[in-house]
Amino acid sequence: MAANKASRLGEETRIDKVNAELVVLTYGTIVSQLCKDFDSDYVEVNKQLDKMGYNIGLRLIEDYLAKSNTVRRCSNFKETAEMIAKVGFKIFLNITPTIANWTNDGKQFSLIFDENPFADFVELPDDGRAQDELWYSNILCGVLRGALEMVQMQVEAHFISDVLRGNDTTEMRITLIRYIDDELPPEDD
């Protein structure tokens, strides 16, 4: 029920389009430039990508809320996951990752990317380390973290497999840490 509604919402939302190659090449340039700037310290590159994504997420959520015409809060984290996969990703990247591997407590799930527009054409550097250390699309983790933080959810997101590394699937693991209570303004004594 909720799932159907989410995918309908994702389909219906009309958004401006931008040439895919432009996005892919821009993102690719960012990643390869980061690799150069940090002397192929891929752990650091992952961190930077996550940070950039976080800053994007903080702003993008506003756009998402406006474009998706959401009228109410998600009642639970499962619904949130549906909205992320079927509305958010649909609007901004025109893909719909599959939601899978829920833990029993309903606080952790995976997004499996059957297609990843960022990774088109990409071949990781053949230096023996990039294959094990670099998460090429790590910016997406940051985006989710930033966007969800703005709607009172603290999450942790990281990739656990990537076809670029030779894995069968591209899978991101997302964990809900806590709902953030609206902070009260400091009392003046």
Partner 1 sequence: MATTLPSIACLGVIGRNNNPLHISIFNSYDPSTTSFRPIRTPLQFSLLLSSTLDVFELRSRAHAATGTGLTGDFGLLHAVDERLAAYGFETNTGVKFVVVVDMRGRRASTTSGVVGEAEGKRSNAAGGGTTAGVGLREGEMRVVFKAMQAAYIRLMQNPFYDPDEHSPVSGPGKKITSRRFGEDMRRIGEGWVPGVASL
Which of these, 172, 164, 173, 176, lies nearest to 125 by C-alpha position? 164
Q: How far is the CB of 26 from partner 1 (least distance, A)?
A: 9
- Tokens representing 48 are 């930077």
Of positions 55, 125, 154, 160, contacts partner 1 by CB under 8 A: 125
Size of the site for partner 1 (CB under 8 A): 16
Q: DSSP 3-state assignment of 38?
A: coil
Span of 59-67, 96-104, 116-124, 141-149 interacting with partner 1 by CB under 8 A: 116-124
Max Cα–Cα distance, the chain, nearest Å: 61
For partner 1, the closer CB: 24 or 151:
24
What residues from 8 to 27 belong to the interface with partner 1 (CB under 8 A)? Answer: 21, 24-25, 27
Span of 56-64, 87-95, 115-123, 138-146 interacting with partner 1 by CB under 8 A: 115-123
- Tokens representing 33 are 């430039």
Does position 28 interact with partner 1 (CB under 8 A)? The reply is yes
Whole-Å CA distances, 122 to 20, 92, 119, 177: 14, 20, 5, 33
Binding mask 35-74 for partner 1 (x = CB under 8 A): x---------------------------------------
Which of these, 43, 46, 50, 78, lies nearest to 141 by C-alpha position? 50
Q: Could you say which DSSP state residue 117 is in?
A: G
Binding mask 126-145 for partner 1 (x = CB under 8 A): x-------------------
Of positions 114, 115, 120, 156, contacts partner 1 by CB under 8 A: 120
For partner 1, the closer CB: 84 or 124:
124
Of positions 111, 124, 143, 153, contacts partner 1 by CB under 8 A: 124
Round to whole Å and give the CA distance between 183 and 180.
8
User: In sequence order, what E strands does 3-133 have?
Assistant: 98-100, 108-113
Whole-Å CA distances, 132 to 37, 124, 127: 19, 10, 10
Where along the sequence are the contacts to partner 1 (CB under 8 A)?
Answer: 21, 24-25, 27-29, 31-32, 35, 120-126
